[in-house]
Amino acid sequence: MSVIVPAILTNDALKAQSQINALSGLVDLAQVDFMDGQFVDTVSITADEAGQLTAPYKLEAHLMVMDPAAWLPYFQPEQWKRIYFHIEAVPEPADLISMIKQMEIEPGLAINPETPLAAIEDYTETIDNVLFMGVTPGAQGRAFHPEVLEKINEFLNQHPDHLVALDGGASKETIEQIAKVGVFNITVGSAIFGGGDVRQNLRVLQELAS
């Protein structure tokens, strides 16, 4: 069964905290997206604001930034379960993986739709989590790249014990096919927060993913 992980993407710290609060009692994990205006064109809340977020459940960070190491001091293991950073931003990520492990937080690699699996192959023995982007990163609601599902299938055939997540493009129309590939965590933003009741949106998506 796939698990829906709500994604919070905003440049307003109060809105981010409000969305976190709205998920209280509904989830065990939510993802917060961070953007620096360099790795992607858009910006999110700052590193300092990230460190001030609180939740009654675990959070994971998705760092769409050029210098993820500079963000690490703002994440504490009591609140943050996992930190994803992009292989495209850190071509030699071994040291960063070690740094995150030393923080007692799980490291994970994120990979864009056009990036080949070969880019992360050398690091699969030191990480257990890979986040596949189903859209071009930088904003919620962008068009889904269905060819990413073939890439995920190939990866899982080679590494069946790894946790695979997908971020972007998940909706009522696509979520069943995403789940069938074997994605464990399906990260969803606009389909949860884009309109209607958050609780109802989350319930419907989870039922489709089960």
Chain segment 95-132, per-residue pLDDT in tens: 999 999 999 999 999 999 999 999 999 999 999 999 99
pTM of the model: 0.95
Average pLDDT over residues 72-82: 97
pLDDT tens, residue by residue, 166-195: 998 888 999 999 999 999 999 999 899 988
Instruction: Look up residue 148 and give its two tokens.
Output: 């990413």
Please state the domain count of the chain: 1
The residue to which tokens 């909706």 are assigned: 171
Whether 12 and 196 have beta carbons less than 8 Å apart is answered as no
Task: State yes or no: is 122 an active-site residue.
Answer: no
Rounded to an integer, what distance in angstroms lies between the CA atom of residue 33 and that of residue 189? 10
> For the segment 152-168, what is each residue's pLDDT rounded down to a tens digit?
999 999 999 999 999 98
Angle at alpha carbon of residue 10, lines to 7 and 13, rounded to 5°: 110
Annotated catalytic residue 167: yes
The residue from 28, 33, 67, 197 that is catalytic is 33
Active-site residue, from 12, 48, 122, 167: 167
Cβ partners under 8 Å of residue 78, min gap 6: none
Host domain of residue 107: 3-209
CATH number at residue 60: 3.20.20.70
